[in-house]
């Protein structure tokens, strides 16, 4: 068995995403993942609570956000399964989730002091609750929960991912048809064929 693991590690060593795999596969039960065998991952999991104390705030928040998604009020993932998937203990997970929730609460307070809702065109009202993604979007005569992908430099158009049929689709939406419930740092994208751009055809 060890010989097979050692051979697998030589293949892992050539992988361009070894670091990401090394980080994200602590919860795997069997075999070699991220260049580590089962015993090595077990040892790494035991070190996590101590290592987490020195993690950068951004890393702690990223883990807290992901773990909070695994523990919704309705049908949360069992703590034993979370440890198996991530290598993170219940105590550490609860600590990271609490940090993420406090961060979100602080963001909400800050957003409330700087965001001014402008008059919106007629259409379905936005829900007063948070969605599971980043923002509410008026889409196909309804309001959908969407992921934010970027925006134009002037902020008038927002690029979002919404569900379409059995899959997802990316589309540009006017900013007045978007309301964020999980604000993201702006990502500036070029909108080729923008309807109100300088090369748009006159109607």
112 and 71 co-located in one domain: yes
40 and 92 co-located in one domain: no
**Residues with Cβ within 8 Å of residue 167, at least 6 apart in sequence:** none
Per residue in 110-169, pLDDT (tens digit) is: 665 554 444 445 567 888 888 888 899 988 788 999 999 999 988 899 999 998 777 888
4 and 36 co-located in one domain: yes
Per residue in 56-69, pLDDT (tens digit) is: 888 889 888 988 98
| 130 inside domain | no
Percentage of the chain beyond pLDDT 90 is 24
Domain that holds residue 30: 1-54
Total domains in the fold of the chain: 3
Task: Check pLDDT > 60 for residue 83.
Answer: yes
Q: Is the pTM higher than 0.85? A: no
38 and 86 co-located in one domain: no
50 and 84 co-located in one domain: no
61 and 104 co-located in one domain: yes
């Amino acid at each position: 068995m060890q010989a097979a693991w050692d051979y697998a590690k030589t293949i892992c060593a050539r992988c361009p995403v070894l670091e990401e795999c090394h980080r994200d596969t602590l919860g795997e039960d069997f075999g070699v993942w991220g260049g580590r065998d089962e015993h090595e991952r077990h040892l790494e999991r035991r070190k996590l609570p101590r290592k987490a104390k020195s993690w950068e705030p951004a890393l702690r928040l990223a883990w807290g956000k992901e773990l909070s998604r695994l523990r919704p009020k309705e049908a949360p993932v069992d703590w034993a399964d979370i440890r198996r998937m991530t290598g993170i203990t219940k105590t550490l997970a609860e600590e990271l989730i609490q940090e993420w929730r406090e961060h979100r609460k602080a963001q909400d307070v800050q957003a409330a002091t700087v965001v001014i809702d402008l008059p919106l065109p007629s259409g379905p009202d936005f829900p007063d609750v948070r969605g599971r993604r980043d923002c509410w979007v008026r889409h196909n005569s309804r309001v959908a929960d969407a992921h934010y992908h970027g925006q134009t430099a002037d902020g008038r158009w927002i690029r979002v991912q919404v569900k379409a049929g059995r899959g997802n689709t990316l589309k540009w939406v006017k900013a007045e048809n978007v309301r964020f419930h999980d604000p993201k740092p702006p990502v500036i994208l070029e909108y080729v064929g923008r309807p109100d751009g300088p090369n748009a055809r006159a109607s």
